Copies of this chain bind each other. A is one copy, B any other.
Amino acid sequence: MAAVKGEVELARVRYDAATGLVPVVAQDAETGDVLMLAYADREALKRTLATGYAWYYSRSRRAYWRKGATSGNVQRVVEVRVDCDGDAVLYRVVPEGPACHTGEQVCFYRRLVPDGVSSEASKEGGLNPEGAAVRA
């Protein structure tokens, strides 16, 4: 990963005006894999910085969520970064187990393709709108 140049304090993160949240990208600090995208508010970011483990805010459950609290697949946070305009966050983590509630190592395990070109099998491939919130 590109070298760090400077620091930004938590108070300067810019949350979405409507939701109070920022998107958080979790990246495997060792392999570079993009593991998942979730959301955090100020409290979730504060807990992550304080504990060294990845906390998020679940939009569907409206609750704080320590990744792996039920599954055991926690994410130890090596570094937290913020983007140029302060409205997106990157957790660089060492994952213990799969990031995805499906059991896949990463949530981004499928290719996006134009409509009408996919095989029948992929049309049937289920998305999991609720599972992540329930089991991850």
Contacts and interface: CB of A to CB of B under 8 A. Distances in A.
Interface of A: 1-14, 18, 23, 25, 27, 31-34, 36-37, 45-46, 49-50, 79-90, 100-102, 104-119, 121-123, 125, 127-132
Given A34-B27, A37-B83, A111 B11 contact: no
Contacts of A7: 110-113, 118-119, 122, 125
A128 B6 contact: no
Contacts of A10: 112-115
A109 B2 contact: yes
A84 B131 CA distance: 9
Given A10-B114, A37-B83, 18 more contacts: A6-B110, A6-B121, A7-B110, A7-B119, A7-B125, A9-B116, A10-B115, A11-B115, A13-B112, A14-B127, A25-B34, A34-B34, A49-B112, A80-B111, A84-B109, A85-B107, A85-B131, A88-B108
A121 B34 CA distance: 31
A113 to B, nearest CB: 5
